[in-house]
Amino acid sequence: MTSLATVAAQGADLVAPAAPDGVFSLVWLLIALPLAGAAILLVVGRRADRWGHLLGTLMPVASFIIALVMFAQLLGRPDEQRSVVQHLYDWMVVGTFRIPIAFQLDQLSMTFVLLITGVGSLIHIYSIGYMRGDPGRVRFFGELNLFVAAMLLLVLADNYLLLYFGWEGVGLASYLLIGFWFAKPVAAVAGNKAFVMNRVGDMGMSIAVMLLFVTFGAVGFGDVFAAVPQADETTLTWIGLALLFGACAKSAQFPLQAWLLDAMEGPTPVSALIHAATMVTAGVYLVARSNPIFDAAPAAATAVVVVGAITLLMGAIIGCAKDDIKKSLAGSTMSQIGYMVLAAGLGPVGYAFALFHLLTHGFFKATLFLGAGSVMHGMRDEVDMRRYGALRTVMMLTFVGFGAAYLAILGIPPFSGFFSKDKIIEAAFSQGIVIGLVTLVGAGITAFYMTRMIIMTFFGKARWDDDQHPHESPPVMTVPILVLALASTVGGIALAWNSSIESWLAPVVGFSEPHLAIPNWGLSLITLVVVLVGAFLGWAQYGRAPVPVTAPRGAWPTRAARADLYGDALNESLFMRPGQWLTRVLVFVENRLVDGLVNGTAATIGGISGRTRRWQTGFVRSYALSMLGGVVLVGATFLLVRL
Amino acid sequence: MSALLAADLAPFPVPSIEYSAISPLIAIFGAAVLGVLVEALLPRTARRPVQLVLTFGALAVAFGLVIWQRDTRATVLEGAVTIDGPTLFLQGTIIALAFVAALVMAERRVDVAGDDFAPRASALPGSDYERDLTRLGWLQTEVWPLLLFSIGGMVLFPASGDLLTMFIALEVLSLPLYLLTGMARRRRLLSQEASLKYFVLGAFSSALFLYGVALLYGFAGTVSLSGIAEALTDDAQQYGLVLGGTALVAIGLLFKIGASPFHQWTPDVYQGAPTSVTGFMAACTKVAAFGALLKVLFVALGGVRWDWAPMLWVIAVLTMVVGSIVAITQTDMKRMLAYSAVAQAGFVLVGVVAASPDGMAGTLVYLVAYGFASVGAFAVVTLVRDATGEATHLSQWAGLGKRSPLVAGVFALFLLAFAGIPLTSGFIGKFAVFTAGVASGAVALVVIAVVASAIAAFFYIRVILLMFFHDPAPDGPAVVVPSSMTTIAIAVTVAVTIVVGVIPQPLLALISDAGVFVR
């Protein structure tokens, strides 16, 4: 606790990074291994059918082992030597402006590296079983490796521009993986949607990078954060908002959340990887990494909290109404990431807990997705929960794993979610009663939809067709589930023990103890009661009476939630329709209007009415007229400037 | 009597000619003149090899001479030509791009009938005469001297020290292009129509340019760029002439750049011209015209930058928006690339609007990145063919990635570079011009540019999607295996696109060493 006290109630101190000696000279290898795997597998292709999946699994496992060694070394060092920067080469040097290719390994990125490679490795192992027999298995492993490499680049970058590369790489890899079964039109459309919405977010990122460059003349984390105290608050607010916009797209936060629900079209291990270990956590990482900027720009931080709060409730409500098990889990991810974003927006009271929840969520959400995948594997890819039921007897191991993750996401002590979510609720109440209530209500709804899910899947009467023969998955799939379930069970208490996660992260993100009007155990008790009420309501609605196989029409809130709370409709009316309209107008002007003008004039002057056969779109005279229009335009701007 | 004459006439000054400084020009124009003689004197069968040796030899020598002259900073030929760092950089870029583009033009294997040009431009399209010539395997070798004259004009364009030289360079580079546009072997009517359109509109823009020159002469009493700059510093009168002249000169150059609303010839001409010529035009003309624009604006008209910057701001926005949005609806590959070229011109203009040394450096980086990717992209277009020639309809490209993963992969790389995806050269270009734009205070313009590039990315990615994620049509086109000419051209452009993306430092250092224009 002494190390905690020294940095209490203030931002992180900036310490000079240590040199990359010993095992830390291998930081680049963390990224290079999966990247090499991706390159080999994508180039060799089907010729690697026999061994491709093994190589693809070996790469992240090797990275994970290196990461573990590094982690052990870092633990043995004092706080101020735990940040290591490995400089490879200068990518761009313009005057005093330098962009190096350099990696920064500190407590924050170490945490992410362990999560990405650890959970990522388990998902790779699981995929060996899940993708058995798929003709594109080698391509699948190549793309998974690419995904892991891009995500590692994102969290290991030591400057915003390199981070942006990883950011784009993650977007590209997710696009490839979501559209993996591109022969299915829905999958191709879903991949496109994810890509387009992520590009929209990338605009925010690229504007943020340019603003950073102009404001600070640098994009390195160290340089930028050192200069933040001298910067103007308005500029910082804009930078913060642009970063948040980028984070919203990657982390599926309101208003750029719509792609995540469709992204379920990819193979289930991809969903697990996107939701648990990579991609959606990138936004939280970005906000946490940029903590000096958000600490200095309260307005931007408030925007982060608001976005998190809205998404938290939205995701939970959507999760209640979906019958597709993966989509329900997707709603849950939105909601849980909302918790993290909200916590990150709270400032030093929240950063550590946001990351704590990110870790526990990584464990239990990966378990839930892999469990759902295992159910689907035994049910011939059926995803409708109304056609499940009573699976606990036939899929014992999957049920045990899923059940542990269920208790963890609800936050039942001593499962991991209890420790992390409880802390976020505490931090939220310490900053404001409204935000606190949002997190509390969210916990109740979470309990409701998760209870609904587990009852519909594993309890009640069997509702599957007679020709279904559900069976347990092979050990290569169940073992990863059980390992992750174990982590979901004990991960929370292990990390919360003696405040170890807070003191580990405090040097990077800062930490201050939340102060509440009531004792902490009191709030924990209230939270637990709310969760139990939510779970009871779920049981009351789905456990007591048999679940109908066809969904009832439902009241309007149910229908709204089924329609993703009209997220798509909103996007369409706000962006797509005006975009289409603008396109039509421009094309019309290009092809018709100018011609029409000319023809009209020509008809009045010379009576030429017959339009000659047109080879292409236009006549030279109409082009010339448009040029003349341009001359007038140029003249007008000159006059306007002079006036 | 003779004494009287001698007294009346001032001694005629003998112009000094610094041959070394203009040696790249001499090499190119000299080879062009020799090429004309080759056409007149050599037997038909011997012409092509000799022309190829002349063309590639002249370009290689000229490139070497540019490198030899790399430290020259001089005003030569009585002020008609100025050679300085940026000029030499532009000249080198143009020559290198032209060399690669000429390799594609020399390709003779992809089309069973011969090269990319009509067997004889004078033969009526579809006539028996044309058919006979095709059967006999005739080739129109005049394209080579035409190409050299055009390149010479381009190399002179950004080196011009006065507006009249610039005008002559403009005409020297344009006239051969009008001809080359009309000489496609396939779809000749389309080609000839494009040629005529290009010529008429080009003449219109030349007239505007010349009128602008006249107005600036009226103001400054000189056509020399440095003279105009001087007149601007000490005379606040008669701004009407300056502004009118600036506007019209800029319009003449913006036409060549393909900026909106002076862009409408681009889709027609890019589509109609032989594809190898399109690649040459798209890359080299743009570099030369941007070079000339930078020179006029920075050297002569720097004093009225607060007048022309807002005008270019408007043009840049219009160009980016029109280019990237209209490209979405195109169904022909060459037309799509044409609108893409319009959008790219808009992005480059962001660097010009910045009106700073950084902006100029960014513009040069962008031109290199775009130029090579562009030549490469059009070279790939020449390879995808069916029985009637190039298969340019977008639907014909469906599933290309499954038939020829290598060619489709290369094309995808160029598209990603156009879209500005990191680790390709296009990203470096966009980053350079956008940061220069933000640094000069044009934040709104850069935000629009970022939005436009996101829209543009959409149609580039859509083509990649089409190539890799769609099933090929049963009677779809095939990818022809080219000779080493096109293979080398594509390999070079791929290499530049990747190397500049991954290790941009040498290029950036070269540009920063080039410094700024001299007066």
Q: What pLDDT does B395 receive? A: 85
Burial of B162: CB neighbours in 10 Å, binned 0-12, 13-18, 19+? buried
B262 vs A497: which has the higher pLDDT: B262
Minimal C-alpha gap between A238 and chain B (Å): 12
Q: For residue B151, report the phi and psi dihedrals to the nearest 5 degrees.
A: -60, -40
Amino acid of residue B43: P
Cross-strand bridge partners of residue B332: B393
Read off the pLDDT of residues B109-129 as tens digits, 9 standing for 90 and up.
Answer: 888 778 888 888 888 888 888
Mutate to test the interface with B, among A90, A94, A265, A595 (most CBs of B within 10 A): A94
Please judge whether B250 and A630 are an interchain contact, meaning their C-beta atoms are less than 8 angstroms apart: no
Dihedral through CA A342, CA A345, CA A346, CA A352, nearest 10? 80
Contacts of A192 in chain B (CB under 8 A): 465
Q: What pLDDT does A330 receive? A: 86
- Quick one: closest CA in B to A191, which residue? B465
Contacts of A168 in chain B (CB under 8 A): 421-422
> At A98, is the secondary structure helix, strand, or coil?
strand
Nearest residue to A108 via CA among A132, A90, A84, A126 = A84
Tokens encoding A167:
């950011």
Mean pLDDT of A599-623: 47
| CB-based contacts of A602, cutoff 8 Å, min separation 6 | A608
Reported confidence tier of residue B99, pLDDT bands at 50, 70, 90: very high
Nearest residue to B354 via CA among B285, B298, B292, B428 = B298
A6 vs A619: which has the higher pLDDT: A619
Nearest residue to B86 via CA among B296, B375, B322 = B296
Read off the pLDDT of residues A151-204 as tens digits, 9 standing for 90 and up.
Answer: 999 999 988 888 988 888 888 888 778 777 766 667 777 777 777 777 778 888
- Quick one: closest CA in B to A634, which residue? B311
Partner residue opposite A214 with nearest CB, options B250, B328, B439: B439
Q: What pLDDT does B358 receive? A: 87
Residues A360, A352: Cα–Cα separation, whole Å? 12
Amino acid of residue B453: S
Please judge whether B505 and A90 are an interchain contact, meaning their C-beta atoms are less than 8 angstroms apart: yes
**Is the ipTM here above 0.85?**
no
Minimal C-alpha gap between B422 and chain A (Å): 6
Residues A294, B152: Cα–Cα separation, whole Å? 56
Minimal C-alpha gap between B224 and chain A (Å): 23
Q: What pLDDT does A557 receive? A: 66
Cis status, amide bond into B261, omega within 30 of 0 = yes
Residues A267, A317: Cα–Cα separation, whole Å? 25
Amino acid of residue A614: R
A80 vs B146: which has the higher pLDDT: B146
The 10 Å Cβ neighbour count of residue A208 is: 26
The 10 Å Cβ neighbour count of residue A396 is: 12
Please judge whether B447 and A590 are an interchain contact, meaning their C-beta atoms are less than 8 angstroms apart: no
Nearest residue to A152 via CA among A43, A270, A63 = A63
Please judge whether A623 and B251 are an interchain contact, meaning their C-beta atoms are less than 8 angstroms apart: no
Contacts of B204 in chain A (CB under 8 A): 624, 627
Kindly tell me if the per-residue pLDDT of A248 is higher than 60: yes
B374 vs A525: which has the higher pLDDT: B374
Please judge whether B315 and A200 are an interchain contact, meaning their C-beta atoms are less than 8 angstroms apart: no
Angle at B249 between CA B244 and CA B252, to 5 degrees: 130
pTM of the model: 0.82
CB A526 within 8 A of CB A440: yes
Contacts of A165 in chain B (CB under 8 A): 422-423
Kindly tell me if the per-residue pLDDT of B250 is higher than 90: yes
- Quick one: closest CA in A to B428, which residue? A92
With residue B348 as reference, give the H or E element that holds it: helix B333-353
Tokens encoding B364:
């040069």
CB A37 within 8 A of CB A120: no
Q: What pLDDT does B477 receive? A: 84
Residues A116, A337: Cα–Cα separation, whole Å? 16
Cross-strand bridge partners of residue A100: A90
Please judge whether A642 and B307 are an interchain contact, meaning their C-beta atoms are less than 8 angstroms apart: yes
**Sign of the CA dihedral B448, B454, B460, B466?**
negative
- Quick one: closest CA in B to A181, which residue? B469
CA atoms within 13 A on the CB side of B461: 21
DSSP sequence for B422-465: TTSHHHHHHHHHHHHHHHTT-HHHHHHHHHHHHHHHHHHHHHHH
Nearest residue to B315 via CA among B260, B247, B267 = B260
Mutate to test the interface with A, among B308, B469, B499, B512 (most CBs of A within 10 A): B469
Contacts of A583 in chain B (CB under 8 A): 325-326, 328-329
Nearest residue to A282 via CA among A446, A191, A157, A189 = A157
Minimal C-alpha gap between B34 and chain A (Å): 36
Terminal C-alpha separation, chain A = 67
Q: What pLDDT does A575 receive? A: 61
Please judge whether B325 and A586 are an interchain contact, meaning their C-beta atoms are less than 8 angstroms apart: yes
Q: For residue B84, report the phi and psi dihedrals to the nearest 5 degrees.
A: -150, -175
Q: What pLDDT does B400 receive? A: 86
Reported confidence tier of residue A6, pLDDT bands at 50, 70, 90: very low
Please judge whether A93 and B508 are an interchain contact, meaning their C-beta atoms are less than 8 angstroms apart: yes
Contacts of B423 in chain A (CB under 8 A): 165
Reported confidence tier of residue B98, pLDDT bands at 50, 70, 90: very high
Nearest residue to A141 via CA among A279, A62, A281, A45 = A45
Partner residue opposite B265 with nearest CB, options A199, A210, A623: A623
Residues A352, A420: Cα–Cα separation, whole Å? 10
Contacts of B465 in chain A (CB under 8 A): 188, 192
Contacts of A213 in chain B (CB under 8 A): 435, 438-439
Q: What percent of chain A has pLDDT over 70?
A: 84
Cis status, amide bond into A229, omega within 30 of 0 = no
Read off the pLDDT of residues B454-497 as tens digits, 9 standing for 90 and up.
Answer: 888 888 888 888 887 777 877 778 888 888 999 999 999 999 99
User: What is the b/e burial string over A504-534, where b = at least 16 CB atoms within 10 angstroms of the residue's CB?
Assistant: bbbbbbbbbbbeeeeeeeebbeebbebbeeb
Minimal C-alpha gap between B450 and chain A (Å): 6
Kindly tell me if the per-residue pLDDT of B290 is higher than 60: yes
Please judge whether B311 and A641 are an interchain contact, meaning their C-beta atoms are less than 8 angstroms apart: yes
Mutate to test the interface with A, among B208, B325, B364, B430 (most CBs of A within 10 A): B325
Residues A347, A441: Cα–Cα separation, whole Å? 22
Nearest residue to A278 via CA among A158, A385, A365, A378 = A365
Residues B302, B308: Cα–Cα separation, whole Å? 9
Read off the pLDDT of residues B171-187 as tens digits, 9 standing for 90 and up.
Answer: 999 999 999 999 988 88
Dihedral through CA A468, CA A470, CA A471, CA A474, nearest 10? 90
Residues B62, B25: Cα–Cα separation, whole Å? 7
Residues A398, A477: Cα–Cα separation, whole Å? 9
Count Cβ–Cβ pairs < 8 Å, chain A vs chain B: 140
Please judge whether A91 and B248 are an interchain contact, meaning their C-beta atoms are less than 8 angstroms apart: no
Residues A629, A618: Cα–Cα separation, whole Å? 16
Mean pLDDT of B53-66: 96
Residues A106, B259: Cα–Cα separation, whole Å? 48
Kindly tell me if the per-residue pLDDT of B91 is higher than 90: yes
B341 vs A97: which has the higher pLDDT: B341
In angstroms, the Cα distances linking A551 to A62, A323, A448 are 46, 8, 18
| CB-based contacts of A520, cutoff 8 Å, min separation 6 | A426
CB A251 within 8 A of CB A283: yes
- Quick one: closest CA in A to B264, which residue? A623
Per domain, the residue ranges of chain B are 18-116+124-514
